[in-house]
Amino acid sequence: MRLIIDTDPGVDDAHALMAALAYPRVQVDAVVSVAGNVALARTTANACTILDAMDADVPVYAGCAAPLLQIPRWSTEFHGTDGLGDAGLPPSTRRVEREHGVDAIVRLANTAPGEITLLALGPLTNVAMATRLDPDLPGKFARLVMMGGAVNGMGNATPTAEFNILGDPEAAAIVFRTWPKLTLISWEATMAHGFSAEQMETLFTLGTSRSDFLARVSEGVLAAVAKYTGQRDMVEPDLLAAAAALEPSTVTKSEWHAVDVETSGPLTRGMTTVDWFHRTGKAPNVEIVTEMDTARVWEMLRSALA
């Protein structure tokens, strides 16, 4: 499998990247950063730091620094001001490629049409811009797997909107309206497939440098989750998306529906609207994942930390 990872690291992005970079029989052709959990300079630097932790020789491309229309919004309350849990990690000396991340996505897709899976873990600004540059782009990827959306309206950024989609609703609307088939890990699926405090402690105490790295960057998120829920469990939205891309068999139940994004409603901007009962007559464009093999996903991350 060949993979491009479009990401806004982010602690859960780090978990997903670690699982993908260590996965056997996968070639990660590029990591493309986008502004999302924190500003672009930090997401780009964090991608380099994660690649260093995994000793991975993968090119990093900086993508879009702001949403298409709106003012950026960050998620520092969960991910820390540096995006990696304020763990105090030393800066990477890894070189970032000069080519813009959007151009890299288009170029790589055109050099190997039908061979590469695109894994999108942040706001969809880069993907939307790439699609505008090359309208035939959706047909040049084997799959698009993404984390985003609150398919039942149970938002984590607003009462109706999930963070990645709200991060750039216009970009999300472009992607949902132009990509005929994509696989979606929603916020509701995330909430149903977390890891327990005991599972996380096992990962933190494996005694490897990768395990130590995971523990350092994750502690702040665990504390933030505990503040809101009273439990030190870990939600893994991006890791679930990575698992669905790497091993489609980890998806044990899904449904195909027509999905779009609201861009203008004062109470619903960024909401993913799902045609659950086929009222619009539109063809289903999204595979909505509802159940996953959480035990296998946990094992994928554990294996990455060896």
Using DSSP bridges, classify how beta strands 143-147 and 251-257 pair: parallel, antiparallel or unpaired. Answer: unpaired
DSSP 3-state of 165: helix
pTM of model > 0.85: yes
Residue 306 is predicted with a pLDDT of: 95
CATH number corresponding to 2-304: 3.90.245.10
Q: Residue 213 corresponds to which amino acid?
A: F
Residue 34 is predicted with a pLDDT of: 98
Residue 158 is predicted with a pLDDT of: 96
> 257 near 286, Cβ under 8 Å?
yes
Q: What is the pLDDT of residues 31-48, one digit of tens each?
A: 999 999 999 999 999 999
Using DSSP bridges, classify how beta strands 27-33 and 2-7 pair: parallel, antiparallel or unpaired. Answer: parallel
Nearest to 265 by CA among 158, 164, 125, 129: 158
The tokens for 198 are 């005991």
- The crossing angle, in degrees rounded to 10, of helices 197-204 and 294-304 is 20
> What's the rounded Cα separation, in Å, for the pair 233 and 298?
13
Residue 221 is predicted with a pLDDT of: 87
Q: Per-residue pLDDT tens, the chain, 306 aa: give them.
A: 999 999 999 999 999 999 999 999 999 999 999 999 999 999 999 999 999 999 999 999 999 999 999 999 999 988 999 999 999 999 999 999 999 999 999 999 999 999 999 999 999 999 999 999 999 999 999 999 999 999 999 999 999 999 999 999 999 999 999 999 999 999 999 999 999 999 999 999 999 999 999 999 999 888 888 887 787 889 999 999 999 999 999 999 999 999 999 999 999 999 999 999 999 999 999 999 999 999 999 999 999 999
The tokens for 284 are 């289903």
> What's the rounded Cα separation, in Å, for the pair 45 and 40?
8
